Amino acid sequence: MDNNNLAQITFGGGCFWCVESCFNMLKGVQSAISGYSGGHKDNPTYEEVCTGETGHAEVVQITYDPAIISYEQLMDVFFFLHDPTQLNRQGNDIGTQYRSVIYYKDDAEKAKAEEAIEMSKQSGRWQGTYVTELTKFDKFWPAEQYHQGYYNENPTQPYCSAVVGPKIQKFKKHFGELGMLND
């Protein structure tokens, strides 16, 4: 990858353990880092974010090469991995920290995000009203080190084996067939 031409995107689609591991498998993604955005407290901890009182969402910040994978393809993966019609939750994960949110950096990126939402709606993948927030990016706080690559390090942990693992298998099947995964 050409490090001079890398771009970043930050979004939240529920538990970051579910999202981060999938994005790290994609061709063109240099890194997907679990963290927090959208809140009012500097350098929040996982425990603080879990209270719902800091205003942060669990997010993944993705650094990628647009010459290999496009913003639109990343958005397709984003909408594949979570249900954008569930307000402040994904499955049994409930709270504002699990909200569906896209953080944009400028008006052009906001327009692309709006277009991605419309494309996802038109796909018919999800039924119901989309609740995905579009929010101006401010800061990203990396989550504690033990959250990075959590699924890969803890695949037999009960939440990982019951929730994350099946989601990853579905992701690998779909995006593997499209040739989008690293070898």
Residues marked active site are found at 15
First-to-last alpha carbon distance for the chain, in angstroms, is 15
Q: In what order do the strands lie in the sheet with 140-142?
A: 133-136, 100-104, 7-13, 57-64, 29-37, 140-142
Amino acid at 148: Q
Q: Which residues of 13-47 are buried (b: 16+ CB within 10 A; e: fewer)?
A: bbbbbbbbbbbbbbbbbeebbbbbbbbeeeebebe
- Residue 125 makes CB contacts below 8 A (sequence gap 6+) with 79, 80
Phi, psi angle pair for 86, to nearest 5°: -95, 120
Residue 148 tokens read as: 């990075």
CA 5, 81, 90: angle at the middle one, nearest 5?
125
Q: Please state, in angstroms and rounded to a whole number, the distance separating the CA atoms of residues 143 and 98.
A: 14
